[in-house]
Chains A and B, each alone.
Chain A
Amino acid sequence: MNADRSALWAPLLITAALAAGTFWLDRVSRLPDTQRDASTGGKPDVTMERFKATQTGENGAAQYQVTAAKMQHYQQGNYTDLFTVEMVDMTPRRPPMRIVAESVRLSHNDENYYFNGITHITREADAQRSAMKLTTSKLWVWPERGVSTTDQAVDIRDDYMHITAVGMDLDRNLGTIKLKSRVRATYVKPPA
């Protein structure tokens, strides 16, 4: 009789032990909210929809403007996440340059914008140059210093040439672009 009863209880005990173990594993692997929030800046302390901000220089002239569908600021991590973002560089005497991306993280420590995901840069034409389009998948931008960099593939086009490469440093102030590896360029006759 006892043998019957233990044969009945054994599977139940094993199942109970497995369930307890799974529950324990789940608890251990899940970081406590505070720890995860600390590494990602905690909960946003400010959230805005249809956000627009303009940075002006010392002389009060607009330097660049950022618009976003949504903005979330994180006090602890000292950064701001922006979604569906457009940044326009409005430095005087230069054709405007526009950067568009799906998500951007603005780190306030060094005023760096990290465009994460497919990022498009367009610069309008001016008297000397045709319009330019640049596409990459990640871009770090320091608007105050006028420099941008990426270690990803880039694709650059204007009316005269099409160039692809991997890795880029762009200096808006000097008007220079350095492409770091695997450069392929095609020069075409400009449209008549």
Chain B
Amino acid sequence: ERADRSKPINVEADSWFGEEKTKVSTYEGNVVITQGTLLMRADKAVIRQDAEGNYHAIANGRPLTYREKRDEADDFIEGQADRMEYNGKLGQLQLFGKAKLKRGNDEVRGDYIFYDQLVGTFKVGPEAGAKTTTPGRVRMVLQPAQKDSKEAPKPADSTPPTALKPSSSISKPREE
């Protein structure tokens, strides 16, 4: 969700190594990163802060998992991969290696997935500029949009069938 961007980032880990000059923090062991609805679990995460105060992260896991609520829907987008790069300024997420992204019932898999959180779009395929001898396969499952059952289509003739009742005016048939 876009609102997540303004929330504090919380990180839990087994150990931390900080370098004052570069302002780079390295977290290792059972790393859990949360920011609003965003939840990420990894083995290692390197968080850097740029001059304008935006945070950028690179994380590794076996696999690392990522989950965040979507703005326009009451569900989550979930991802996993071997490595993830996150650009806090542009709100862009890149998943590398056995990458998978699930949005509602749709799911995409590939060697590389690029997800733009602000726009809500993603790209799947080989990593840009990657020298892959055998291009990784991309697999995408997009579920047809389910219509609501309340609006099921009415039959062509919409007049209700007439109920048959015995007639009082017609006389008995004549015996021939």
Contacts and interface: CB of A to CB of B under 8 A. Distances in A.
A and B associate in one complex: yes
Interface of A: 128-129, 160-161, 163, 165, 174-190
Q: 4 tightest A-B contacts by CB?
A: A175-B20, A187-B9, A179-B16, A183-B16
B18 interface: yes
Contact of A183 (B8, B9, B15, B21): B15
Contact of A185 (B10, B19, B23): B10
B9 A175 contact: no
Contact of B11 (A176, A185, A189): A185
A186 B25 CA distance: 12
A63 to B, nearest CB: 19
B106 interface: no
Nearest to A179: B16
A133 to B, nearest CB: 14
18 contacts: A177-B20, A179-B16, A179-B17, A179-B18, A181-B14, A181-B15, A183-B12, A183-B14, A183-B16, A183-B27, A184-B10, A184-B12, A185-B10, A185-B11, A185-B12, A185-B16, A187-B8, A189-B8
Nearest to A177: B18
B55 A175 contact: no
Contacts of B23: 128-129
Contact of B17 (A177, A184, A187): A177
Given A160-B53, A185-B25, A187-B47, A176 B8 contact: no
Interface residues of B, number: 22
Contacts of B171: none
Contacts of B10: 184-187
B36 to A, nearest CB: 13
A165 B9 contact: no
Nearest to A189: B53
B13 interface: yes
B16 A187 contact: no
B162 interface: no
A186 B8 contact: yes
Nearest to B51: A128
Interface string B9-52: 11111111111110101010000000000000000000101000
A176 B22 CA distance: 10
Contacts of A174: 19
Among A160, A182, A183, A186, the most chain B Cβ lie within 10 Å of the Cβ of A183
A159 B6 CA distance: 16
Interface in B93-144: none
A96 to B, nearest CB: 14
B16 A160 contact: no
A128 to B, nearest CB: 7
B156 to A, nearest CB: 61
Nearest to A162: B8
Nearest to A160: B49
Nearest to A184: B12
Contacts of A181: 14-15
